[in-house]
Amino acid sequence: MVIASGHNERVQNADPIAHGEMSALRAAGRQKSYRDTTLYTTLAPCAMCAGTIVQFKIPRVVVGEARTFDGELELLRTRGVEAVVLDDQRSVDMMRTFQSDNPDLWAEDIAE
């Protein structure tokens, strides 16, 4: 059962923390617990999103790809989160195109 979905809304909402993971959690609203959930994401979560995953004790994260951005997978794993990387070529291609076409926006997205 899907309880919510989200996408990166930083530009649309002029919100520097509106990454896809944060958007999905906002859409899910207040939950008694996230301990039986799996979060699906295109990219490996950044430090901010990984911290939120740890904070809410989300036990499993499935990542489309981690080649274009390896994020904080090790942080998640050291905190007991099961982090599964699918290495999906469509996700890799999509992110490489985005990063090539929008280098300034990508740098802003990952705070570089």
The catalytic residue positions are: 21
Distances in whole angstroms, Cα of residue 108 to Cα of each of 23, 71, 87, 96, 111: 17, 15, 24, 16, 5
